[in-house]
Amino acid sequence: MAGPWRRTIAAFGGLLAAGAALVPVAMSWLSNPEDQRLVDLDVYRTAGQAVLDGRSVYDFVTQAPQLLPFTYPPFSAILAAPLAWLPWPVAQVVMVGLVFGALALAVWWGFRPLIARAGDFGPLVFGGLVAALIFPLPVYDQVRFGQVGLFLVALCVMDCLAPRTYWPRGVLVGLATAFKLVPGVFLVYFLITRRREAAGNAVLTAVGVSLLTFVMLPRDSVDFWFGALLAGDRVGSNFGTSNQSLRGFLLRLYWPDTVTSLVWLVAVVTVAFVGFRYARKLSLLGASGRLSPTNAWSAETAGIAITGLLAVLLSPVAWIHHLVWIVLVVGALAGDGRNLRRCLAAAGVWLFYVLQTPWWGTSHIQGRLPVWEQALGRAMQSSYGLGAVALLFVLGGWLVNEMWRETPPQGREEGPERVGMGTLTP
């Protein structure tokens, strides 16, 4: 009876730990002034209402003072329609609950080795991790705005990481791509790791859903694919602190437009080459059979995390709340918790994204300040995006070496750079 009792007590403790963190966060934003409350949820819900009313999805803005347009594929508006049936206060509570559920799924998959190692106390560790992972700003902002980033993380990580699936692998990535385009970067991930069937399933799903949406909402589909998609001004100021993509950082340097565009193209190609190379190496290393099962899981998680970070960095516009892939970064670094250096690195990444450094940087960029302080302020202002670039090297370089050191000598006969193409999960 000791085991079941321990697990029951641990589950209760995990619920308390998660609740102690999540409930105050939920109450904080649900009690915010009404015109500042879950403003992106208001965009989705208004789009869903437009679908139900037969109005154009791309011709409205939300009520003042936000005045936000709908910028996502029309499939997102269809999925948001049920939210329009709910009273606004109820829809807010439902959305916050769904965000917390998506966070729990991301933590469950990203921290599987650590949770499994805890044994009967796994539920307590799981609850504590969910509590801790609500506080990095990209995750915290999911609740603040009522955003869907954690849903996309959960879909992609389940599709890529689950040892076995009850759906054709790639379908969830395809759905996520039809919902918000950016997860389409995982098509590249499937291809470079030779999961061609999964890539095909993802493409067929995304195209099929989009065509079905075209049949259901032909006018809105035309408006999006040939209008709203190409209108950069619909997403807000690209120069603002919230834009943590490579382009956002360069725009805030205020170079001539031609120079900025050229440097951005070079940066995109360079970061994409390095990032996808690291993601491929990690996935192949995890599939090679040379690592322990827990490190193989961490390697694949790291490959997924790098791909998610690339989706943020390479996009012309990527807000702070898009960096929710940090959940998987911390999980990959922590592993099963046996390596102190990895745990300290995971804690450091967690703390870095808890601190609101980009917003602190805005107080150091006024023209009256010394040039060195303004330069520091600009770096701080883009610190989350620059940190994401650094994490490509941390995961693809440092973490690989750490996992290789933990591998028995007979498994290290070939270095990680020479690992051949193993049999990947289809």
CB 359 within 8 A of CB 173: no
The pLDDT, as a whole number, for residue 414 is 56
In this structure, of 26-35, 245-254, 313-322, the range with the lowest mean pLDDT score is: 26-35
DSSP of 248-309, one letter per residue? Answer: HHHHTTT--HHHHHHHHHHHHHHHHHHHHHHHHHHHHHHHSS-S-HHHHHHHHHHHHHHHHH
CA dihedral of 314, 315, 320, 324, whole degrees rounded to 10: -70
Higher pLDDT, 373 or 348: 348
The pLDDT, as a whole number, for residue 363 is 84
List the one residue out of 138, 148, 125, 130 whose CA is nearest residue 354: 138
Whole-number average pLDDT of the chain: 90
The pLDDT, as a whole number, for residue 4 is 75
pLDDT over 90 at 398, yes or no: yes
pLDDT per residue as tens digits for the range 125-140: 999 999 999 999 999 9
- The mean pLDDT of 202-229, rounded to a whole number, is 91
Higher pLDDT, 4 or 10: 10
pLDDT over 60 at 423, yes or no: no
pLDDT over 60 at 48, yes or no: yes
User: For a pLDDT cut of 70, what percent of the chain falls above it?
Assistant: 93
Q: How would residue 424 be classed by pLDDT, with cut points 50, 70 and 90?
A: very low
- State how far the Cα of 18 lies from the Cα of 145, in Å rounded to an integer: 20
Higher pLDDT, 59 or 105: 105
The pLDDT, as a whole number, for residue 27 is 93
Q: How would residue 420 be classed by pLDDT, with cut points 50, 70 and 90?
A: very low
The pLDDT, as a whole number, for residue 374 is 83
User: For a pLDDT cut of 90, what percent of the chain falls above it?
Assistant: 71
pLDDT per residue as tens digits for the range 327-370: 999 999 999 999 999 999 999 999 999 999 999 988 888 777 78
pLDDT over 80 at 415, yes or no: no
Provide the residue type at 68 as one letter. Answer: L
pLDDT over 50 at 425, yes or no: no
Three-state SS at 166: coil
Q: Which two tokens stand for residue 144?
A: 């603040």
pLDDT over 80 at 232, yes or no: no
Q: Which two tokens stand for residue 91?
A: 């829809």
Enumerate the domain spans of the chain. 233-410
HSE of 330, CA atoms in CB hemisphere, 13 A = 24
The pLDDT, as a whole number, for residue 176 is 96
- The mean pLDDT of 112-121, rounded to a whole number, is 93
HSE of 374, CA atoms in CB hemisphere, 13 A = 10
| Phi then psi dihedrals of residue 270, to 5 deg | -65, -50
Three-state SS at 136: coil
